Amino acid sequence: MGAMTSGQVRCEHCGQVNRVPAAAAGTPRCGKCHQPLPWIADADDTTFAEVADAAKVPVIVDLWAPWCGPCRMVSPALEQLARDLAGQVKLVKVNVDESPRISQRFEAQAIPTLLVLRGGQVAARQTGAAPLPALRAWVDKALATATP
Ligand SMILES: [Zn+2]
């Protein structure tokens, strides 16, 4: 861990497989049809500033751990949100066991702890798992209030 991760994302519009970096100046778009791609990245103590704080779009932070059952339930819902809101948000997943400083910074005493960050500032916070519609409403509200 500690290295920047990047993933392969299949475009839902044209099927093209794109490589999406963990951090970038803009938001990722499909190389073929130029539609926005879902942006899902991992971060830890070393990469969080670059991957999450410096992002130009609102960031949904998922503070999770491998042993946490509710985390495993909420992660797919968050990934669905990242697909639904492609181009508008970035999802950053942080394993708190491997990221003690990030865990401490956000006082993640219970997990999952979910945050919406804008320019490194916490715009919204939620502790505990929730079903997709509730998460969607929570993120929509955070984006509405966080937009200048
Ligand atoms: Zn495409």
pLDDT tens series, the chain, 148 aa: 334 456 889 999 999 999 999 999 889 999 999 999 999 999 999 999 999 999 999 999 999 999 999 999 999 999 999 999 999 999 999 999 999 999 999 999 899 999 999 999 999 999 999 999 999 999 999 998 755 5
Report pLDDT for 41: 95
Determine the Cα–Cα distance for residues 51 and 39; give it in Å rounded to an integer: 11
29 CA → ligand 1 middle, Å? 8
Would you call 14 a catalytic residue per the annotation? no
Ion ligand 1 neighbours (CB, 5 A) are: 11, 13-14, 16, 30, 32-33
147 CA → ligand 1 middle, Å? 27
Determine the Cα–Cα distance for residues 142 and 137; give it in Å rounded to an integer: 9
Among the listed residues 11, 14, 30, 71, the single catalytic one is: 71
Three-state secondary structure of the chain: CCCCCCEEEECCCCCCEEEECCCCCCCCECCCCCCECCCEEEECCCCHHHHHHCCCCCEEEEEECCCCHHHHHHHHHHHHHHHHCECCEEEEEEEHHHCHHHHHHCCCCCCCEEEEEECCEEEEEEECCCCHHHHHHHHHHHHHHHCC
Instruction: Supply the pTM of this predicted model.
Output: 0.92
Would you call 30 a catalytic residue per the annotation? no
Report pLDDT for 20: 92
